[in-house]
Amino acid sequence: MNAGTADLLEARDLARSYTVRRGLLGRPTLVRAVDGVSLTVARGETLGLVGESGCGKSTTARLVLGIEPTDTGSVTFDGGAMPRSGTAAWAHLRRRMQMVYQDPLAALDRRLTVGVQIAEPLDIHRIGTAAEREERVAAVMAEVGLQPHHAARHPQSLSGGQRQRAVIARALVTNPELLVCDEPISALDVSIQALVLNLLGDLQERLKMGMLFVSHDLRAVRQISQRVAVMYLGRIVEEGDPDAVLHDPAHPYTQALVSAIPHPGKTTTRVILQGDPPNPANRPTGCAFHPRCPVATPTCRTQAPELKPRRSDGRRVACHVAHGEAAAARAPASLETC
């Protein structure tokens, strides 16, 4: 298809707003869920996507797979433009790109057994004979730690983690080239998390699968990703090597995020974010983080910082202070801790 160097997935300037109307005649307001996100995923690479709840991660995930149309921006998959959702070309591509949805119970059909649902992508794309499909389903179930007898169960009679594994198995059954995971391990105990993370890592190596890994679990993100992007209110504010971002966060939001990671057996000092969580229907001017930013400067209120490499080490970050373009109002050391 394309030269081997091209990225498997390339998204440029994605934006998506929702019109929310209160009542049938109410005044419509615009919720800007995703507001100019660009990202790439290469074959065999994982991009971790983290960020505040409600900042648009799930929306981004749906946009890059074409499950939802973008308002502006474009998506390229394996060198070709992403076809419109619902078209035959798109349906055909779905075999090569799968999604693990955030809420397993809502993503599964409660009238069908999970065995049937895991086999569904194989049936839709007519892959293999009936016997081969059965064998493939059994194999993928075992890989995610489900037992054979779970296949005959309906989603509501499985535990939360068993359901989540069913959703993962369904996404993996066609050996996709691109996997978009939205909180794929949130309902799993650490031992099974380890199993699934190892499995995903192996698949990446073996099949050169590319992954967009949305998660709040920063340990898991570090474990599986080669790059991590941090989102805040519909935009990416920092991007870089996971170790670098987690150990030396450049953006003040990332700093707060990292400081809040809980550690078993320890009580940590964390930066508690002051101020109200952001409202995507009413985006603050300038840097969207400025009402809560402990080091905000007057510039921040008026000028939106651009996501660009930092001069010192090339870390991509969108913050005036991190770029040294504005002096911090207060030293970061005076971050309020508790």
Partner 1 sequence: MLHYLLSRLLRAAVSIIMVVTFVFVVLRMSGDPAMVIMGADAPPEAIDAFRKAWGLDQPLWIQYFSFFEAIFSGELGRSMRDGRDVLSVVLERVPSTLALTVPAFLVNLVVGVPAGVYAALHRNSLIDRCVMVMAVTGFAVPSFILAMLLVLIFSVNLGWLPSAGQDSWLNAILPIATMGFGGAALLARFTRSAMLEVLGQPYIRTASAKGLPWSAVVWRHALQNAAIPTITIIGFMLGGLVAGAVVVESVFSWPGVGRLLVISVANRDLGVVQAIVLMIAITMVAANMIVDVLYGLVDPRMHGQARPARR
Partner 2 sequence: MAFVEIQNLSVAFGRSPALRGINLAVERGEAVGLVGESGCGKSITWLAALGLLPSLATVRGSVRIDGTEILGAPKARLEPVRGGRIAMIFQDPAASLNPVHRIGRQIGEALGLHRGMTGERAKAEVIRLMDQVGIPDAKNRINAYPHELSGGQNQRVMIAMALAGQPELLVADEPTTALDVTIQAQILDLLTTLRRDTGMALVLISHDLGVVSETCSRIAVMYAGRIVEEAPSGQIFTHPNHPYTRGLMGALPPLSGARHRLVAIPGSVPEAAQMPQGCAFAPRCSAATGRCTEVDPVPLPLTQDHSAACIHARPYAQAGQPLHHHAATTRERAMQ
Ligand X SMILES: Nc1ncnc2c1ncn2[C@@H]1O[C@H](COP(=O)(O)OP(=O)(O)OP(=O)(O)O)[C@@H](O)[C@H]1O
* Site of interaction with partner 1 (CB under 8 A): 19, 21, 24, 105, 109-111, 156
Q: Looking at beta carbons only, is 187 or 326 nearer to ligand X? A: 187
Contacts (Cβ under 8 Å, ≥6 apart) of 203 = 172, 175, 209
Task: Please identify which residue in 127, 195, 304, 329 interacts with partner 2, judged by CB under 8 A.
Answer: 195
Question: Could you tell me the sign of the dihedral formed by the alpha carbons of 114, 98, 53, 246, in that order?
Answer: positive
Stretch that binds ligand X, among 137-145, 153-161, 199-207, 309-317 (CB under 6 A): 153-161
> Which of 316-319's residues contact partners 24+ apart within 8 Å by CB, and which partners?
316/238, 316/239, 316/240, 317/237, 317/238, 317/239, 317/240, 317/250, 317/251, 318/235, 318/236, 318/237, 318/238, 318/251, 318/287, 319/237, 319/238, 319/250, 319/251, 319/252, 319/287
| Nearest of 300, 290, 292 to residue 320 by alpha carbon | 300
Question: Could you tell me the sign of the dihedral formed by the alpha carbons of 78, 82, 88, 91, in that order?
Answer: positive
Task: State the minimum distance, in angstroms, from the CB of residue 260 to partner 2.
Answer: 4
Q: How many residues does the chain have?
A: 338
Task: Please identify which residue in 1, 131, 264, 311 interacts with partner 2, judged by CB under 8 A.
Answer: 264
Q: What DSSP string describes 27-40?
A: PPEEEEEEEEEEEE
- Please, which of residues 199-228 interact with partner 2 by CB under 8 A? 201, 216-220, 222-223
Report if residue 152 touches partner 2, rule: CB under 8 A. no
Task: Please identify which residue in 175, 186, 299, 303 interacts with partner 2, judged by CB under 8 A.
Answer: 186
Q: Looking at beta carbons only, is 129 or 191 nearer to ligand X? A: 191
327, interface contact from ligand X, ligand SF4, partner 2, none, CB < 5-8 Å by kind: none
Report if residue 58 touches Mg ion, rule: CB under 5 A. yes
Report if residue 53 touches ligand X, rule: CB under 6 A. yes
Task: Please identify which residue in 69, 79, 148, 160 interacts with Mg ion, judged by CB under 5 A.
Answer: 160
Yes or no: say if 218 and 261 are a contact pair by the CB < 8 Å rule: yes
Q: Looking at beta carbons only, is 277 or 332 nearer to Mg ion? A: 277
- Please, which of residues 275-294 interact with ligand X by CB under 6 A? 280
Task: State the minimum distance, in angstroms, from the CB of residue 282 to ligand SF4.
Answer: 17
Report if residue 142 touches ligand X, rule: CB under 6 A. no
Contacts (Cβ under 8 Å, ≥6 apart) of 217 = 185, 186, 193
Report if residue 28 touches partner 2, rule: CB under 8 A. no
Task: State the minimum distance, in angstroms, from the CB of residue 129 to ligand X.
Answer: 30
Q: Looking at beta carbons only, is 102 or 164 nearer to Mg ion? A: 102
> Tokens 């057994």 appear where?
113
- The torsion region of residue 324 among left (phi > 0), alpha (psi -120 to 50) and beta comes to left
* Site for ligand X, rule CB under 6 A: 18, 20, 31, 33, 53-59, 102, 157-162, 187, 280
